[in-house]
Amino acid sequence: MKTYTLKSDGVLKRYDYLWRLTSDRWAWEYLRRNPVFLEDARSRRADDIAERRACDDRIRIIRPRREQTLAQRWGLVLMPDPDLDALQADVIWQQDVFPDQFEVHVSPRPPGETCSIFDRTVPVFDITHVTDREGREALLLRGNGGVIQVRCTGLSLLSLEPVRMKLQVGDVDAYESRMRTYREAMATYGPDPAAQTPLWTKRTQILRDGLIALDCQALGFSRKEIACVLYGRDAAEEAWRSGSAHMKDSVRYLVRKARGLRDRGYLLDLLGARLETMNPLLG
C-alpha cells in the first residue's frame, strides 16, 4: 500500500498522532465529535467506573458500577471520556458492532508451561482489563502509538489459577476482514512512532482531513476557511479566485464524508458491523 508524508505544521501537527490508529480507534475519533453522543456523554460520572491496579503496576482493572445503557446505544461497552483521544480513552466496542476484533481463548496453563502472548505483551504495552456488567472480559493494550482491543473468552484472566491465552481466528467467512484487523494491530509491535515521520495512505489522509473539517466547522469556519487550513491560504485563495471547482468539490466531499462517519457511519465503515447481526437500536 502506497504511503506518503503530509504537510504537518501549525494546527495540522496536532493530528499527527492519528497516523498509527487502527480502524476502531478512528471510529472513536469520529464518534466523540457527534453532538448527540456528547449529550449522552454528559451523564458520565467519574465514579461510574471502579478502578484498581493489579500487582503489576502497568495493568489497570476496571469495571462499570452502573448499567451502561447510554453507552450501549452507540455500540460501546462503557461510556468513555469524550475529551480523551483515541490513544487515551477507555473505548471498548461491543462484539456485534466490532466483529473482527482480536480474540483470545483463555484456558488452564499446565505446570511448567508459559504463555507466549502474555510474555510478549506485558513488556511492550500498558494493559487495561475491562469486565462488563455481564462478566465478559476484554483488554486494551496501549503502546507504540496504538491501541489494540482484545476480546477474551473461556476462563477469567482474573482466575487464581495459572492461565494461558491462545489467539482465535474465527470462522472462514470472516477470515479476510479479521486478518486485516490483525495486520493493523500488529504495527504497534513496531518501532516507536515518536522516532518516525508520520506516513499516510489515501484512506487515512481522508480520515484525518475529515476530522480537521469537522473541527473547523465546529468553530464556525466556512468551506473556504477549511481549505485554508488543509491546503494553505495561498492555494485556497487561488482556487476560489480562479473559479476552479476541484478544491471546492474536495472540501465538500470531505465534509459530507466526515459527517456521515460521525453520524453512525462509523459502525459500518470503520468497525465493520454487519447489519444482520447488529442491534437494531444502533441503526
Question: Residue 220 has what DSSP assignment?
Answer: T
Q: Taking all residues of the chain, what is their mean pLDDT, rounded to a whole number?
A: 91
Single out the residue of 274, 282, 263 nearest to residue 27, CA to CA.
Answer: 263
What band does 56 get if pLDDT is binned at 50, 70 and 90? confident
- pLDDT tens digits along 190-237: 666 666 889 999 999 999 999 999 999 999 999 999 999 999 999 999
3-class SS at 14?
helix
What band does 8 get if pLDDT is binned at 50, 70 and 90? confident
What band does 131 get if pLDDT is binned at 50, 70 and 90? very high
Cell (9 digits) for 56: 503489576
Cell (9 digits) for 18: 492519528
Cell (9 digits) for 220: 464556525
Residue 280 has pLDDT above 70, yes or no: no
Residue 186 has pLDDT above 90, yes or no: no
Q: What is the mean pLDDT of residues 175-196?
A: 68
- pLDDT tens digits along 234-248: 999 999 999 889 999
Amino acid at 145: G
In this prediction the pTM is 0.92
Q: Out of 18-22, 173-177, 271-275, give the one with best mean pLDDT.
A: 18-22
Residue 175 has pLDDT above 70, yes or no: no
Residue 172 has pLDDT above 60, yes or no: no
Q: How many CB atoms lie within 10 A of CB 169?
A: 11
Q: Residue 214: what pLDDT?
A: 98
- pLDDT tens digits along 26-43: 999 999 999 999 999 999
**When comparing pLDDT for 276 and 115, which is higher?**
115
Q: What is the mean pLDDT of residues 240-267?
A: 96
Q: Residue 122: what pLDDT?
A: 85
Q: What is the mean pLDDT of residues 74-89?
A: 97
What band does 180 get if pLDDT is binned at 50, 70 and 90? confident
